[in-house]
Structure 1
Amino acid sequence: MEEARRSLERRIRAHLARGTLSLMLTDNRYTMISVRRETQGGRRFKVRLHHMFTDAGPSITRALARYVSHNDPEASRVLGEYIDANQHRVRNRSRRAARPRLVTRGRYHDLQEIFDDINRRYFGDTIEAGITWGPRNGKPRRRNSIKMGSYSVEDRLIRLHRSLDRAFVPRFFVEWIVYHEMLHQVHEVKIVNGRRQFHSREFLRDEAKFEHYAEARHWERAHLDALLTC
């Protein structure tokens, strides 16, 4: 692997007009290209690339050099197409772990009932995914941030933060979080500048179709501090 890294580094450096290059190969499943550009004391580029690029041809190494040095849009397009064509080389997550036990009935909100209602009203019962509350956090504490929901593409599983299962959290807000995560099964993840874009313009447009969208956004802003204490 080290020999392959050095070879790729040399091939990219050959196309750089100026500056020094430091390259690291990764097996990251989500970020295929990461560039850190430093200008103090001369131009330096710290690059992390997925190992799929180790046997890339000259056209791809030239595109990498243009993207690294100038963030060139055409180079980004070429690299995006290369990444799409080599998705089979991205490591799949191990399936050794058994599917987690789904906990849908909370103290105040039943996630399965909400999921089924949203699926019928907005998606024509076409979304196939599991849903569960996340793990309990034990003693309440103040957080700096909170990830209220997540969607696992590999497992087709939606998780909601336990902070939402409290008396002051209205059902329409929980519905909005569930609806948002369900949209991830509708919209494909796009590759933009070598990174996965989970919330495309089309995704955000469909999110705004939620019946209580404006109300939910307003409620979140008004009660974020209470949600962070969980």
Structure 2
Amino acid sequence: MEIRLDGKTALITGAGSGIGESIAKIFAEAGAHVFILERDAAKGEAVAQTIRETGGKADCEVADVSQQQEMVDLVNRIVDKTGRMDILVNNAGIAHVGTLDATSEAEFDRIYAVNVKGVYNGMYAVIKHMQRQKSGAILNMASIASMIGLPDRFAYSMSKGAVLTMTYTVARDYLADNIRCNCIAPARIHTPFVDGFLADNYPGKEAEMFDKLSKTQPIGRMGTPEEVAKLALYLCSDAAGFITGTNYPIDGGFVNLNT
């Protein structure tokens, strides 16, 4: 079954690399006009240019997801340009390692501003346009950290738990407007962030630690950004029209098969 997004406008936050970049590319391949939101303009524009060179429609936009007015203004500009707001993927997020007692107030606030408030701001900015259309698909990036207790992930788990429950309430509140809201909960996905984390924290032992982290998934490897993007494509397409208020683990068996 070929899944298409022809004629749809899609906004993807944090799409300058990793999972967000893969989502932007696969959405454009499926026919969507993709708007890449990235604080690093050069990274975002590089992804947009690659999409355009392969025949897709893509624009790079610069905004801070933690600032509500920036997000509202951005979405309004997109709607002025395309006339629609069909898909929002709240992918932008930041990580943090630490237990409760090792998490400062400043670190907690930093995680909250992007991972929680950023998701809220994105949904707040698009919802009135989707209500006017009586249609829309919102996909939030949660994590297996929203489902189980992970060690040394206090603030990060807090933020992804909030993403999960926001997804449920938005799905419930906008049923009558034909707006669907779901989330994806990845385990470890091999992105540039992972490589950078290993280089910074385990110099000289990157390969050893990569293998160790890969094997924490029962399937024996990390996922790829492309695998997450394919799930995102389905959930944001009309093929998933009967799916809302659902969390989809993409975790190589981590949640249910680890003993």
TM-score (norm 1): 0.29
Larger Rg: 1
Which structure shows the higher helix fraction? Answer: 2
Q: Which has the higher contact order (CA 8 A, sep 6+)?
A: 2
